[in-house]
Structure 1
Amino acid sequence: MAVSLKDIAKRAGVSQATVSNVVNGYRPVGEATRARVQQAIDELGYTPNLSARHLRRGRTGIIALAIPELNNPYFAELADAAIRAATERGYILLLDYTDGDRDKELLVADGFRAQIIDGLILSAVHLTRDDIASRTSETPMVLVGEAIYHAPYDHVVIDNLAASREAMRHLIALGRRRIAFIGAHIEADRAPSLLRLRGYTEALAAAGLPFDPDLTVTTSGFGRGDGAAGMRALLTLAQPPDAVFAFNDLIALGAIRALHDHGLRVPDDVSVIGIDDVEEGRFSIPTLTTISPDKEMIGRLAVEKLLDRIEGRPAGPPAAFQPPFRLVIRESAPSTGPRQASSSSSSS
């Protein structure tokens, strides 16, 4: 027989309304009372009917996370954090796949699944601020990633300029002077690529190093194959690079493979650093030095801000949130001498 709130109230010696307040988190309940109710819940094995609860509030209890890539482990790790955060709050999170296609991104943003979801977390690639500002759907939305800035929605994004400068400072501190950037993109609206390239050039200027356009490699994508192809192109130069700053970890891993195939050693001949801190980089040979964004915080913040909007909690005007990042020093670009400490640096 199903356990009811009345059964719990009788066991705990409180009113049914008090049990409801504890179960649903409606209003503060004294710690001693809450403990008695929770003990009764545990003893009776009560499981709340989350679907019914959401339906009573006019919601489905389902939110969606729309991502551009399924084969990029960064998005898998981000989705894992978001799913766990949603589950803790009694929501189901669905994954939607846009393949980085503009039409699909527009379709998702404009409420394609509005009849089944209460809110959307969107990682867009091609959409602009104007696209988002002209959105007609009333479904609450939170943006993650770096493609769109200053849109009228909450936005969770790392500081790409600061992250790129930190990666470059590390390579420069190692004595590297011909540092290549792999991952510039052929499409001008790819904001993350533009920001990371800008951080690269600013760090060169700050160190008094010249910018050599031959060391900037444009790629059509952001995968391992793109990194390997970019590295092979760099190795045809009369003066190849002595270090590589890659747009992301997958490009960095592809570059390492191409260097190995060419008979060069990492980091002895060429140091390599990426961004994302995907698990694969912790087991590659050599292990990958990288900028590690707090993916757990990114996923959790995105879910929390979305649920605040869905559930009508005071959230203020839309805002941007910047989770921290840290430099993780591993074998592909190890510290070999004294270096100026950074507040975001660490090693593992």
Structure 2
Amino acid sequence: MRVSLKNVAERAGVSVKTVSNVVNDHPHVTPAMRARVQRAIDELGYRPNPTARHLRKGRTGLIGLAVPELGNPYFAELASAVIDIAGQHDYTVLLDHTQGRREQEILVCHGFRARVMDGLILSPLELEHEDLAARDDDSPLVLLGERRYDLPYDHIAIDNIAAARTAVRHLVDLGRRRIAFLGAREDRSHPPAHLRFLGWQAELAACGISADEHLVVTARSWDHEDGAQAMARLLDSGQRPDAVFAYNDRIAIGAMRVMFERGLRIPEDIAVVGFDDVTESRYGAVTLTTIAPDKQAIARLAVESVIERLKQQGESGGSAVRRELEPGFELVRRESTLGRAPR
């Protein structure tokens, strides 16, 4: 038989309301009373019903997470972290896959799915300012990634320029001077590729190295195949770099495959740095040096932001003020720049 609040109240010799206050962590409960109720909870094995709790607050207990590509290991790992952290707060996550298409991103924000979720975490690629400005849903929205909107929604992103500069500085410190950037977009204003390109450019300039446009290679998308094609085009052009900074790990891994096929040694001939620190980067024949965004921090900030906004709505109903939240990153040094350690 399921243990109820009433059962706990009878065991503790208190009212059901007191048990509810303890379970919901209300502040106006004395330590002695809290301990008394907690003993009864532990003895009976009571487990709160999160669905009922959310419904009493007029919530569904559902948070949406919409990302451009679930097949991308970065977004898959981020989604896993969001699900874990949301679960710690008794929330269930609904996943949506927008394919980075504007119409899908609009649907996520404005469609019927938005009406059944307490809040939405969205990583947009093509959504425009006017699309978000027309949003008539007052549920919390948290934006991930490099696109910024002058609207009252929390925004979470690492400093991509600083991260790119860290990657390039590492290569320069190793003595590399012809550092290619793989994964640029034809439209140089398109984030986040544009921000990482700016970081590549800025750090080269700071090190007194000319940024050679012949070493900038565009990619249609950001998969292994795109990296392989970009590297092949670069080598076929006669522009031989001594290092590569790739937009992401998949671009880097695709590029490394072409280097192997062309008989080039990594890192002796060409050193390689990726971006994202996906699991795959740790298990190749040559492990990949990469920029590691703090995905756990991104997930935690996103989930906690939704919950905090919901709490603010319940307390005041006032309008939100946009916050810019910046998780950290680190450079993870591996064999693609340092070589294999002697045994």
> Same fold, TM exceeding 0.5?
yes
Matched, 1:331 2:312: no
The residue identity in structure 1 corresponding to 2:280 is E
The residue identity in structure 1 corresponding to 2:97 is Y
Structure 1 residue 30: Cα displacement: 3.6
Residues 146-193 of structure 1: CA distance to partner in whole angstroms, max 9, x if unpaired?
123443200110000100000000001111010000010134552101
Structure 1 residue 234: Cα displacement: 1.2
Q: Distance in 1 between matches of 2:142 and 2:174?
A: 39
**Which secondary structure does the structure 2 equivalent of 1:221 belong to?**
coil
Q: Is the 8 A contact 1:148 1:191 kept in 2?
A: no
Match of 1:322 in 2: 326
Match of 1:343 in 2: none
**Which secondary structure does the structure 2 equivalent of 1:252 belong to?**
helix
Q: Is the 8 A contact 1:215 1:234 kept in 2?
A: yes
Match of 1:134 in 2: 134
Match of 2:192 in 1: 192
Structure 1 residue 254: Cα displacement: 0.8
TM score, norm. by length of structure 2: 0.93
Deviates more, 1:241-250 or 1:144-153: 144-153
Deviates more, 1:312-321 or 1:114-123: 312-321
Structure 1 residue 233: Cα displacement: 1.0
Q: Is the 8 A contact 1:281 1:288 kept in 2?
A: yes
Match of 1:25 in 2: 25
Structure 1 residue 242: Cα displacement: 0.5
Structure 1 residue 335: Cα displacement: 8.3
Q: How does 1:76-115 map to 2 (within 5 A)?
A: 76-115=76-115
Structure 1 residue 272: Cα displacement: 0.3
Match of 1:219 in 2: 219
Q: Distance in 2 between matches of 1:120 and 1:289?
A: 33
Q: Distance in 2 between matches of 1:246 and 1:174?
A: 17
Structure 1 residue 228: Cα displacement: 0.8
RMSD over equivalenced CA pairs, Å: 1.8
Structure 1 residue 316: Cα displacement: 6.0
Q: Is the 8 A contact 2:171 2:337 kept in 1?
A: yes
The residue identity in structure 1 corresponding to 2:41 is I
Q: Is the 8 A contact 2:61 2:118 kept in 1?
A: yes
**Which secondary structure does the structure 2 equivalent of 1:25 belong to?**
coil
**Which secondary structure does the structure 1 equivalent of 2:183 belong to?**
strand
How many matched pairs? 336
Matched, 1:294 2:298: no
Structure 1 residue 139: Cα displacement: 2.4
**Which secondary structure does the structure 2 equivalent of 1:108 belong to?**
helix
Q: Distance in 1 between matches of 2:161 and 2:149?
A: 14
Q: Distance in 2 between matches of 1:326 and 1:109?
A: 32
Structure 1 residue 136: Cα displacement: 2.5
Q: Distance in 1 between matches of 2:321 and 2:159?
A: 21
TM score, norm. by length of structure 1: 0.92
Match of 2:249 in 1: 249
Distance 1:30 1:334, change over 3 A: farther
**Which secondary structure does the structure 1 equivalent of 2:273 belong to?**
strand
Structure 1 residue 111: Cα displacement: 4.2
Q: Is the 8 A contact 1:124 1:148 kept in 2?
A: no
The residue identity in structure 1 corresponding to 2:62 is I
Q: Is the 8 A contact 1:276 1:292 kept in 2?
A: yes
Q: Is the 8 A contact 1:329 1:335 kept in 2?
A: no
Uncovered stretches (5+) of structure 1, i.e. residues with no partner: 337-348
Uncovered stretches (5+) of structure 2, i.e. residues with no partner: none
Structure 1 residue 32: Cα displacement: 4.0
Percent identical residues: 54
Deviates more, 1:309-318 or 1:121-130: 309-318
Distance 1:114 1:316, change over 3 A: closer
Q: Distance in 1 between matches of 2:188 and 2:210?
A: 23
**Which secondary structure does the structure 2 equivalent of 1:95 belong to?**
strand
Structure 1 residue 132: Cα displacement: 2.1
Match of 2:171 in 1: 171
Match of 1:269 in 2: 269
Q: Distance in 1 between matches of 2:321 and 2:120?
A: 18
